[in-house]
Structure 1
C-alpha cells in the first residue's frame, strides 16, 4: 500500500483498515515502518477532526480524589472548610483563584482544567 495523507473520512477508514491488517508487524521491517507512519497520520487526523476537550473541573477533582483515596475531609484540608468542600463538590460554590492554586499544588490537577467554566 502507498502511504498518503489522510484528507477524507474514507482515507481515514482505509488507513484504519490497513493499520489493523499490519498491526502485529515487526519493528524495523517495511510493514513495521508503514505501521509507524500510518499511526502518526491517523493520530494527526483524529486530533484535527475528533478533538477531546478537558474534563469538567468538578469531575476532575472527584476523579483525582478517588485516585488519591481522598475523602471530603481531606479536600476540606486543601480548600479550608468542610462546608466549602461540600459546596464545591455539589457545584454550589465556584472555585476561586486561590482554590485553583491550592488544588493544583496539592492534587496536581492542571490549572487548564480547573479554570474552565462549569455549571
Structure 2
C-alpha cells in the first residue's frame, strides 16, 4: 500500500508551519528566522540559504522588494514530519500572480527544511 498525501485544513497545520506562514505573510523576517533549526536549509527561486541568519537576510530582502498579498489554497501532509502548503500570491512582481508550494520538513517545533516552488 502506498502512503498518499493527506489533505489538511489551515487550522490543523502544525504550529511551526502556521507561525511561519503568519510571520512570512506579515513580512516579519526575524520571527520567521526564530522558527528555523540551526541547520535549516531554505530553497527559493533556485537559491539555497543555510542557517537562520541567511534565512532572515533572504526574507528581509524578499519582503521589501515587492508588495503582495497571499491567500491560502490548501495543504497536504506528506509524511510524519513533512507538510506542503499552497498559497496564491498577488502583487507587483513580474507576472502579478503565482501559486507557490511551501514544502516544510519539521524537526520538533522547528523548520529544518523549506522548499518554495511554483
**TM-score bracket for this pair, using the shorter chain length:** under 0.3
Which of structures 1 and 2 has the bigger CA Rg?
Answer: 1
RCO higher in structure (CA 8 A, sep ≥6): 2
More strand by share: 2
The TM-score, its normalising length taken from structure 2, stands at 0.24
The TM-score, its normalising length taken from structure 1, stands at 0.23
